[in-house]
Structure formats: C-alpha cells, structure tokens
Amino acid sequence: MDYRFPSGAQGVIFSILFSLLSGGCILAQSKNAKENIHFSYDQGKISSLISELEMEHQAKLKKIGELIKSKGLRATEKTSEGTQVALKDIGTDGTPLYYTTLNDPASKTSRGYALYDKGLLNLGLTGTNMEVGVWDSGVALTSHQEFDTRAKNTDNADEVSLHATLVTGNLISAGVEPNAKGVAYGARALTHDWSRDKIEVAEAAANGLLLSNHSYGILSDRVPDWYFGAYIKVTQDWDRIMYNAPYYLMVTAAGNAQNSYDNEAPNYGKTADGFDLLLGFTTTKNGLTIAGANTEIDSNGELKKASVAGYSSFGPVDDGRVKPDLAGDGGDILSTSSATNSSYQVSAGTSMAAPGVTGSLLLLQQYHEELFGSYMKAATLKGLALHTADDVDAKGPDYKMGWGIMNAKSAAEVLQNKEYTSLINEKTLSDGETYTLTVTAIDGEDLVASISWTDPEAETVNRGELNSTTAALVNDLDIRITKEGETYLPWKLNPAQANDAATKGDNKVDPFERVEVENANGTYTITISHKGGLKNGLQDFSLIVSGAQVSNCSIETPSNLDLENPTSASTTISWNDAEETLFEVQYKSIDTDNWESELIWASNFELSNLENGKVYEARVRSICTENAVSEFSETIEFEFNGEETVLIENTPMFIPQELNISVYPNPTVDYLNVNAELSKDAEFSIVTTSGNVIKKGKTEGSINVSSLSSGLYVLVVQDYSGIKSTKFYKN
C-alpha cells in the first residue's frame, strides 16, 4: 500500500489507522521514541544537575553520620507493624528527616483495565516494552513468580523490601494469581532503594525514563509544624529534575497521616481536621501527588460513588495549590509479598493508590506512542489525567482528592478523538506573547479547556515560616474562554477555607488550569497568556480541549457506490464525498475470505490487478478516529471482463426469494434448476473456487453443467433486482 502522510487533522487520523493496520515494529518504535527524548534534552545541564545532587548527597551522608553519633539516633528502624523508617535527609533548619513507607497496615480503580484486550475500549494495552521506575525503602523481590524477568534490581542492592515488592506487584504483576495482576502487567520495573533517589532518577530521566513511583515520604511526627505544606529544599530539587527532563513525571503517595493528630491540641498544621498534612516532595509543582479513595465502579467503568479514604493525608500546601492532584483506590489491594517467590499479601494506603495511577499513566503513554509515534511530555500526561478525572462531591477540585478519581478510560478516549472532538497541543509561549484559538463547541456538551506546564523550580525555599503564602509558581500562565463579551475563568481553591468548595477566578498558584463551559453551543475563543516576565524568556505548555467540533469529518456510511472507467486490469469505485474524512476501501474475489484494504482521502479508488472472468465484491466505510468509524457500505459484486465489463448499478440488492437448486438425474449432476422469480433477461455465471468464470449465459430455468468436471462451484445469477450467488457441488 502506498501510504502518504497528510498534514493537520488528516495526518493525525491517518497515523491512528496506520498504527492499527501496520502492526509489528512496536518495540522499534518505542526504542526510537525513547532515544528521541534523550537527544531532545540539554544533557550538559542535566549532567551538571546530577553532579550537584551527588555532591549534596555525599555532604548529607556525612552530616547524617555525625548527627547519629552525636545524638544517639537510629539510622533505620521498623515500627511494630513492620513499616520501614530511615533517617535520609536533614532540613535546612537542621531537622532530621525520616523517610517512611506509606502503606496502612489496617487492612484497584483508575480504569486501567478498560485499556486491556477485551477491556471496555479493547485496546490491547498491557505496558509491553514500557519501563517504569520504582524507588522505595528497598528493592523488590525480583525473583517473584509474578515478575518473571520484568523486574530489575537496578541498584544491585541486598535489602529486599516487602513494601517495594507490594508496590512493584501493584504495577507489573503478570497475573499468575489473577486477583493480584498489576495495572501495567506487561511492563518492566526498574526497582531501586531510596538512598540516592534524586540522583538515580535524574540519571534515568536523562535517558528517557517517563514515570517513577514513590510510595514513601517524610515521617510526619518528627518535624516541626512549619514543614507541613511548605516548599522546602527537597521539593525544589524534584521540581528542578522534572523541569530539566520535561518528559519525566514523578508520582508520589500523599501519605496516611489524616488521623495522626490530636483534636484537642494539634501537633502540626493550621487545622485539626486532617488538612495541611503534605510533606516534602508531595508538595512539588510538577509532580503528581495521589490520595487514597474508596470507590465504587460499575460494569461500564462509570464512577458511582467515591469518598476519601480514612487514612489519606489532605492538602493544601501553604501557597494554596491544588494538592493532592488525584486520587486512586488504595484499599484492600492483593499484591506480591517478599516472603517467598509465590507469596501474596493484602495491603492498603496511599502507597497502593499511587502505583495504580502510575500504571494507568504508563498505559496512556504506550497508547499515545502507538497512535502518534511519540510519547507525551509530562505536562501533557499530567494535564490529560487532571482534565479527565472523575469529579467527586462539589464541582471542581478540592484539598482531599484534588481533581478527582483517575479515569484512564476517559483519558484514552480523548486521545482517540484527537483532532476530531478533542485537541492535545504541545506549544511554547514566548515572553509577552498571547496564544489564541477559536473552536466550535458540540451543541449541548460541556466545552472543557485545560493548560498544563512544567514550571521552573522556585528560586527560594521555606526555611521556617509557618504557613508561608508565598507562591512557588514561577511562570504564571492563564487560560480564558470567551464568547460575545462573556469570560469563563478557571477553578481555584482558598487555603484559608480548606474545606470550602472551589470557586472560579484568577488562579495565581497552580501550573494547571481548567475552564469549563456547561451546555456549550456556538463559537468560543480560547486565550493563553501570562503575567509578568517568563523565566528563561519562554514557557512550554500543553493545551487540552474536549467537547469541540475540531474536524468536519463525517462518519456517515458511504452511499451511492458506483463502478466506472474500466481498463484491461482495473476499474474505479466511487461514492459520495465527505469533507476531511478518511475512507477504507475493501475488495476481494468472491472465492476468497481475505479482503484487500486501502486507506484513502478521496471519494474514489482504482481497484487494480483484476483478472478477466473473475467475480469481485467491494465495500467502503468512513473513519474519523479509532472509535468513530461508520458501518461498511452495502457490498457490491461485479464480474470483471476488462474494458467490456458490464458495470452493475449500485442499487439495493434484492432477490424475491432464495435460489433453490435441484439436481437430476442422480448420482451425476448434469443440470441445475433455478427456481426463482427472475426477469427474462436474467444471466448466470458459474465460477470456480479460484474465482475463474468458466460458463455464462441466459438463465432459462435450467442450466446445463454436464461439461463441468467434478468439484465445488459458485452459481451467480444477475437480473433487475441485483446479484445472488450460491454454491453447488458437481459429482
């Protein structure tokens, strides 16, 4: 087939169909996409960052050693429930910072399963050829039967961690035990301990790592109040890594500290009602922080009810950003245990909610690469997840579950409908520039537009101020939707009233903004601008729009099929034209089962390499996106006789009754009786199973077949009502 890649919307649709029809080469595509990420980065800047982080790490190790010796502190410990605790950092104020795993020993729902083979969308996605990083208290038990060779101990560490094994299983378990199957069960996990997490992530991100999961955080009962919600040095470091590697996204668990306070005298934070409990890298601008939720999903993948889990830590962060970002189900998750190579354990907590989201994000990256040949930038992936999340309770985001429950099914549908009813554009805004776009809404649907960007790390960090409201945001972009003088504003939250519903206004703190127009109709203008100057003179951003009639493509079933311009070896099939619509033409000889398939933009196509005396059939369908495809047109049949071929009008095929064939005398078949209401000029053809016409003439009730050799044949009868065929066997 001669594929030509059109530009614009047609090119996007074409790439979808090309990926579906071409098959194979997925591994090579994935490898090339990853290499493209590596070469797109400023490797000099990333190398300098890694060197700086390494120097800081060595200095920190020395200080930790001195602190342990002088204060008699423990370097590592385990709680009575088996939770791992380790002294891993020192705050700028000298506070020892203990890392801890975030499972809840008291005891899956991102809709990732909808993307599987025979899932709700039947996409066949498993994470195959994809890699995900896992940093945890130790490394996973890579020899577990669920991992096969798909979990690699990248650190060559000796300390196998139960928690890391649980997390890794939730991500990639193959399903030897079906109830323990991981969300991205075909993916490969690179498992590390948390000792050099920032350095190792920066190195992996420089080489194209897309996602990593961090189900651990700072222990909440060993830090002063001001740490909660603060933008500190470790937060700044992670934002810096993501800014310098813009395809890399960090996913972290929010924590399980909701009930770790005293109602009479709160130990920390501005409130005693579970708010203001986020710590360390859970307060990043560029990463995704995942809360825990209790959910109920129906058989169609629709969220029926959801509530924040009783263990999950709430936001806000001090400057009022929406944190946590999303929620996933972290309750009663069966996953791999490190006790033996075939053991399992039920666990709960944001530690289990986070990998459920991470695995779904990995499947979405796999799907984007299969559709369009490249991976999404982290801001696009993050923005897509927030744009399509299931809202919970009051409209808009909140400080308990962020933008809502992760919905991989809705996100995949936005990808499917790209350039049809949705837009996903990665753009750059220069200093002083404004970007505008006019869209036509789909009548009666909600028009939703979001912008997402990976912001430079904040220049200053909090060094002790309680609940500092200084915005960590560096480049403040804005999105607005306008129509006939009316302006629609994005959602925002107020940290001073953390439990209040979201309002709409000028958002000055979040690197993600979403604007919604309910029951939209007509034409709207989307405008992206910025306040003040932009650091580095520009800012990349991702624009995501749904509910818009982006393309004029039509999924009406093609009609008025006709045959014209016959040559010695071809004829042209034509049908009604449709603007911006891709067509699939299928044709074959009637004696074969496999269709020849061609994709074209025109409303006619030359059926070539036809053989004289053969009978063929052809049909056409319209395609706008992978999930917006018409039914095939009516199939037309014709006997090809080169330039003398009698073209058959594309009228509805109608035979008053079935062809009834009787044979006599037995056991030798010499005549066929055709019992049907046929016109006097009805004609017949007898076709071999190889498609060759060996006998033809007028149908006059009885057809002499005495000259035929023994075998299977097809009788084709044509009259005013169309064509009918049936098989018979000549003894």
CA dihedral 476, 481, 486, 491 (to 10 degrees): -60
192 and 96 housed in the same domain: yes
**Residue ranges making up the domain that contains 8:** 1-32+552-650
**Cα separation, 582 vs 624, whole angstroms:** 6
Q: Considering the domain boundaries, does residue 458 fall inside one?
A: no
In this structure, is residue 334 part of a structural domain?
yes
- The answer on 673 and 613 residing in a single domain is no
* This prediction's pTM: 0.81
Record the tokens describing residue 520, joined without a space.
Answer: 């939209």
On whether residue 318 sits in a domain, the answer given is yes
Q: How are beta strands 477-483 and 523-530 bridged, if at all?
A: antiparallel
Minimum mean pLDDT range among 70-74, 367-371, 411-415: 70-74
Supply the mean pLDDT for the chain. 86
CATH number at residue 592: 2.60.40.10
Report pLDDT for 20.
43
- Let me know if residue 84 belongs to a domain: yes
What pLDDT score was predicted for residue 308? Answer: 92
Tokens of 640: 């090809």
pLDDT for position 663: 55
Read off the amino acid at residue 239. Answer: D
pLDDT at site 25: 53
645 and 664 together in one domain: no
Q: From CA 182, how far away is CA 724, in angstroms rounded?
A: 52
**Residue 668 confidence (pLDDT):** 57
Q: β-strand 288-297 against 326-329: which pairing, if any?
A: parallel
- Residue 197, SS3 per DSSP: helix
The answer to whether residue 532 is domain-embedded is no
Q: How many helices (H) and strands (E) does the chain have?
A: 9, 39
Contact between 85 and 76 (Cβ < 8 Å): yes
pLDDT in tens, 307-365: 998 889 999 999 999 999 999 988 888 899 999 999 999 888 899 999 999 999 999 99
Whether 665 is in a domain gets the answer: yes
Give the CA radius of gyration of the chain: 32
Query: Do residues 691 and 590 lie in contact, with contact meaning Cβ atoms separated by under 8 Å?
Result: yes
Amino acid at 97: L
Domain membership of residue 142 (yes or no) is yes
**CA dihedral angle for residue 251, residue 406, residue 448, residue 403, rounded to 10 degrees:** -70
- pLDDT the model gives residue 348: 86
Judgement on whether residues 580 and 674 belong to the same structural domain of the protein: no
- Given a cut of 50, whether residue 19 has pLDDT beyond it is no
Residue 316 region by backbone torsions, left for phi larger than 0, else alpha for psi between -120 and 50, else beta: beta
Residue 605 lies in a domain: yes
Domain count, the chain: 3
Residue 148's region, left for phi above 0, alpha for psi from -120 to 50, else beta, is: left
Q: pLDDT for 133-183, tens place per residue?
A: 999 999 999 999 999 899 999 887 778 999 999 999 999 999 999 989 999
What does the pLDDT read at residue 167? Answer: 95
